[in-house]
């Protein structure tokens, strides 16, 4: 994968996030260098989405630092972070369903639209090269797109702001295998062209396949970290996230089990 400068783009230390009495993230340290593609994998409820919400400013961390381009942004609201080049493509896509595809893209470039209209339109062309479907559907209501097209739009909406760091939460959610493969390839190509990416993903095998480095999150903490290739070889990771699934047999004994924890 890409071997780039060692400039630290994002450095998180001691991050804690709490909702009411529930602690979702407990003291996470994480680093993303410019040019890297870093994956975060882990079980449901492990705190992956909360981590991204904390980094992006959608929730305010209770403690810890979020140093982005050398500045502690932990207390900044989300729009201030966007202005500095930190973008989140949220879980479930959250496109603006009642507006057209074009409007969604214009909103993605909100901060650039007035200052550099020409460059923005050029970014749009880049997006159409990446996702030709979006050009075909430019004037359609975004809510009428299929699931795969909506995810393309969500990623494109993030990219047209020219982010230093693009964070993506659960990109594969609800996508057919073929589309997941295509989207993963797009991320890999974007990264090869220099885009720094932080990808939170449930499909660990695919996420590790395109990442430089990865973190495994569990119970709100970083449990493992290392190069993606190293992690993919660890027995603990293979069993929990990658290993060929042991097929549960459909014998009667199994069926009589009452609970699934």
Partner 1 sequence: MTSRFTLPAFTGLAVFLGILPFTADNEYSLRLFMLFTIYAIVALGLNILVGLAGLISLGQAGLFALGAYTGAILATRLGADFVLSVVAGMLIAGLFGALLAYPTVRVRGVYLAVITIAFGLIVENVIIEWHELTGGTTGVSSIPKPSLFSIPLDGFRYYAVLAVLLFIVVVVTHNIKRSRYGRAMLAVSQSETAARSVGLNATGVRTLAFVIAASTAGLAGVLYAFLNLYISPDSFTFNDSIRFLLMVVLGGAGTTVGALTGALILTYLPEYLQQLQYWQQFAYGLLLAVVMFVLPLGIFGTLADLAGRYLKRPSSAYPMDGYAIETVVKDAKGGRTSARFVADGLTIRFGGLTALNKASMQVDPGEIHALIGPNGAGKSTLVNIVTGFYKPQEGRVSLDDVNLAGSAPHLVARSGVARTFQNTELFGELTVIENVMIGYQKRLSYGVFEAALRIGRFGEEEVECRRAAAALLSFVGLTAFTNEKARFLPFGMQRRLEIARALAAAPKLLLLDEPAAGLTTQEIDELDRMIRHIASLGISVLLIEHHVELIMSVADRVTVLDYGVVIASDVPTIIQDDPRVIEAYFGTAPATHAAAGGPAS
Q: Output 20 or 70, the one with its CB closest to partner 1.
A: 20
Three-state DSSP at 36 gives: coil
Task: Give me the least distance between CB of 172 and partner 1, in Å please.
Answer: 8
Integer Cα distance of 76 and 58 in angstroms: 9
Element (H, E) at 17: strand 8-19
Task: Give me the least distance between CB of 100 and partner 1, in Å please.
Answer: 15
Task: Give me the least distance between CB of 5 and partner 1, in Å please.
Answer: 26
Task: Give me the least distance between CB of 21 and partner 1, in Å please.
Answer: 6
Integer Cα distance of 190 and 259 in angstroms: 44
Integer Cα distance of 72 and 76 in angstroms: 9
Angle between helices 101-108 and 147-159 (to 10 degrees): 30
Q: Output 73 or 123, the one with its CB closest to partner 1.
A: 123
Rg (CA), the chain: 19
Give the strands of the sheet with 221-227, arranged side by side.
86-89, 165-169, 196-200, 37-42, 213-218, 221-227
Q: Output 70 or 248, the one with its CB closest to partner 1.
A: 248
Task: Give me the least distance between CB of 113 and partner 1, in Å please.
Answer: 26
Angle between helices 177-192 and 147-159 (to 10 degrees): 10
Residues that bind partner 1 in the complex, under the rule CB under 8 A:
19-22, 43-45, 49, 92, 130-133, 145-149, 152, 170, 173-186, 188-189, 202, 204, 206, 209-210, 240-243, 245-248, 250, 254-255, 257-261
Q: Output 107 or 209, the one with its CB closest to partner 1.
A: 209
Q: Output 7 or 19, the one with its CB closest to partner 1.
A: 19
Q: How many CA atoms lie within 13 A of 38 on its CB side?
A: 23
Q: Output 49 or 73, the one with its CB closest to partner 1.
A: 49
Q: Would you say how long the chain is, in residues?
A: 261
Task: Give me the least distance between CB of 2 and partner 1, in Å please.
Answer: 16
């Amino acid at each position: 994968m890409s071997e780039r400068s060692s400039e630290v783009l994002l450095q998180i230390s001691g991050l804690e996030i709490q909702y009411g009495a529930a602690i979702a993230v407990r003291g996470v340290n994480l680093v993303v260098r410019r040019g890297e593609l870093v994956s975060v994998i882990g079980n449901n409820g492990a705190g992956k989405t909360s981590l991204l919400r904390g980094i992006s400013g959608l929730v305010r961390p209770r403690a810890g630092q979020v140093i982005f381009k050398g500045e502690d942004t932990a207390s900044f609201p989300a729009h201030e972070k966007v202005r500095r080049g930190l973008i989140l493509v949220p879980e479930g896509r959250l496109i603006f369903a009642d507006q057209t595809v074009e409007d969604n893209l214009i909103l993605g470039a909100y901060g650039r639209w007035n200052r550099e209209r020409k460059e923005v339109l050029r970014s749009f062309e880049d997006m159409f090269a990446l996702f030709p479907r979006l050009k075909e559907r430019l004037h359609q209501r975004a809510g009428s797109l299929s699931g795969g097209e909506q995810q393309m739009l969500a990623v494109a909406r993030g990219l047209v702001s020219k982010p230093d760091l693009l964070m993506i939460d659960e990109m594969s959610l609800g996508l057919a295998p073929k589309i997941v493969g295509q989207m993963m390839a797009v991320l890999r190509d974007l990264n090869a062209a220099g885009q720094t990416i932080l990808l939170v993903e449930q499909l660990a095998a695919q996420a590790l396949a395109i990442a430089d480095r990865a973190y495994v999150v569990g119970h709100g903490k970083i449990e493992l970290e290392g190069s993606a290739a190293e992690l993919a070889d660890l027995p603990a990771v293979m069993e929990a996230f990658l290993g060929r699934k042991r097929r549960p047999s459909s014998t009667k004994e199994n069926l009589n089990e009452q609970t699934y924890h």
